[in-house]
Amino acid sequence: KAGVTQTPRYLIKTRGQQVTLSCSPISGHRSVSWYQQTPGQGLQFLFEYFSETQRNKGNFPGRFSGRQFSNSRSEMNVSTLELGDSALYLCASSLLTSGGNEQFFGPGTRLTVL
Amino acid sequence: QQQVKQSPQSLIVQKGGISIINCAYENTAFDYFPWYQQFPGKGPALLIAIRPDVSEKKEGRFTISFNKSAKQFSLHIMDSQPGDSATYFCAASFLSGTYKYIFGTGTRLKVLA
């Protein structure tokens, strides 16, 4: 069974631009969660989607948004990029909503904002 | 109350030694405690997990010890190998509307050959 895939793997953007990241969960997994990972802050939860509905949201500004499609694939969008948005963005999938069920992470998208 | 405190921040162990990483929590609603291993340039990979009705779980060289009364759990890596050099994250999960994961800040382990 294929794992979680994320595209692109690397991105370089400039301040003020916007970016869209994509995540394909493990086949059969309907829950997708997004995390931001930085050296100083560790893994910070962004949001979770289940059956195309946002079920949970972390403490990030409205510039961070996401969506999930009927095939469970998910995208996250960051608008008006700031230097501090440089991070590894991780997607994790699980069979049901996260917690109690194992989360499986993708390789991440490394975003660099110049 | 939703924090998971992980220590140490970094750890150096000789090959063949035991690596021990500790995590502590406060929220008694947590009901699932996984450990993740992350190599540079990769996403975290689920290593081993435990639920609070069990005090210990062992998988190969990896053991989780869980102390419910102290609200602590730890990862023990027996016979540590250079290939174990990675960053390890503990996490705790609980139900609040939907299930949520809280991650520790990570421990960078280096095993010397």
Residues A21 and A5: beta-carbon distance below 8 Å: no
Query: Which has more pLDDT, B101 or B88?
Result: B88
Query: pLDDT value at position A1?
Result: 66
- pLDDT of B10 > 90? The answer is yes
Query: pLDDT value at position A69?
Result: 96
Low-confidence ranges of chain A (pLDDT < 50): 98
Range 77-106 of B in CB contact (< 8 A) with A: 89, 93-95, 97-101, 103-106
Touching check for B5 and chain A: CB below 8 Å? no
Q: Do A43 and B44 touch (CB under 8 A)?
A: yes
**Distance spanning both ends of chain B, measured CA to CA:** 39
